[in-house]
Amino acid sequence: MEITLKNVKKKDLPVFKSLAKSLGFEIAEKVEKPYNPEFVKEILDAERSIKEGRGVRMTMEELKELCK
C-alpha cells in the first residue's frame, strides 16, 4: 500500500519521518519543480533585457492590430 502526504509543513516533516522509521516504513520523497528550467531562464532573460532598455513599447491599438 502507498500513502501520499500533501501540504506537510517543514516543521512537521521530521515528526512524520521519525514515526515512519520507527514503524519500519520506507520513505520516498518526491519534490516536483513547478516550471521547466529552460522556461524560467527565458523569462528571466526577457526581464533582464527589458530592464536594460532593449524592450519595445506598444500602444494597445498597435498590440490589437498585431494580434489580428
Q: Please compute the mean of the pLDDT values over residues 7-14 and round it to a whole number.
A: 89
* pLDDT the model gives residue 61: 94
Distance CA 56, CA 43 (A): 16
Q: Would you state the pLDDT for residue 45?
A: 94
Domain boundaries, given as residue ranges, for the chain: 13-66
Predicted TM-score (pTM) above 0.85: no
Q: Phi and psi of 9, rounded to 5°?
A: -70, 150
Please determine, for residue 62, whether its predicted confidence score (pLDDT) is greater than 80.
yes
Give residue-wise pLDDT tens across range 18-59: 998 999 988 887 777 788 889 999 999 999 999 999 988 899
Cα dihedral 5, 32, 50, 57 in deg (nearest 10): -70
Residues 18, 29 contacting (CB under 8 angstroms): no
The residue-averaged pLDDT of 7-22 equals 90
